[in-house]
A and B are shown apart, each in its own frame.
Chain A
Amino acid sequence: AQSVTQPDIHITVSEGASLELRCNYSYGATPYLFWYVQSPGQGLQLLLKYFSGDTLVQGIKGFEAEFKRSQSSFNLRKPSVHWSDAAEYFCAVGAIDSNYQLIWGAGTKLIIKP
């Protein structure tokens, strides 16, 4: 069955430090992968997506993610976090054979220490 795992429920990072949020997926075919961010009380905003091609994708707000097929992973990274990056981050995989629906991870809450 298709699934997305975000192993870290919470991550605390100091402002200015680097960040990596983990995402592992289980999907039989070539996946379409997404990272979304959600600020408290808000909707979800697309950070970046991977469909094909270069496995390192750049997104908005200085984020990037790397697709590693051998590890079934799509980890999100940022070299230097800002206090405004505090939010919940969701990884999702697109399922072409399920009406193009997205399978969602449970999310990782990012806490920024001053």
Chain B
Amino acid sequence: EAEVAQSPRYKITEKSQAVAFWCDPISGHATLYWYRQILGQGPELLVQFQDESVVDDSQLPKDRFSAERLKGVDSTLKIQPAELGDSAMYLCASQRSGTAGGYEQYFGPGTRLTVT
């Protein structure tokens, strides 16, 4: 069964350093999401891509966060500089299409970020 891949699984970084996360969605899935999840809370959408285009990045803190999906396949989320409050789980999800029947999202295992 195809899966969403994410790396690294764990990342510890110091405050003010740069950090990057990578996601490879399920083959053929045009829509890709990045979420941030604080322990004990639901996922919070950061950015949504349709192919290589950003559909929604209204919740992305653009002063320090950036995301790209240059060829419409895999994606990178970057934080620079990292702050203590960025410690969280970062989840990537993919979706086959934006139409009914292809609505469900499939999640990767996540990257647990700890900022010290």
Contact = CB atoms under 8 A, between A and B. Distances in A.
A44 B103 contact: no
Contacts of A101: 33, 45, 48, 56
B107 A45 contact: yes
- Contact-residue size bin, chain B (C-beta under 8 Å from the other chain): 20 to 34
B23 to A, nearest CB: 11
Interface string A38-51: 00011111100101
Interface in A55-100: 90, 94, 96, 99-100
Interface string B1-44: 00010100000000000000000000000010100000011110
B104 A42 contact: no
B78 interface: no
A94 B42 CA distance: 15
Interface residues of A, number: 23
A104 B104 contact: no
Contacts, number: 56
A106 interface: yes
Interface stretch (B61-69, B80-88, B93-101): B93-101
Contact of A46 (B33, B40, B101, B106): B106
A25 interface: no
A73 B16 CA distance: 44
B110 A105 contact: no
Contacts of A94: 103
Interface of B: 4, 6, 31, 33, 40-43, 45, 48, 55-56, 89, 91, 93, 95, 98-101, 103-110, 112
Given A32-B103, A96-B100, 17 more contacts: A36-B107, A43-B4, A43-B107, A43-B109, A43-B110, A44-B93, A46-B104, A46-B105, A51-B103, A90-B42, A94-B103, A99-B48, A100-B31, A100-B95, A101-B56, A107-B41, A109-B40
Interface of A: 32, 34, 36, 41-46, 49, 51, 90, 94, 96, 99-102, 104-107, 109
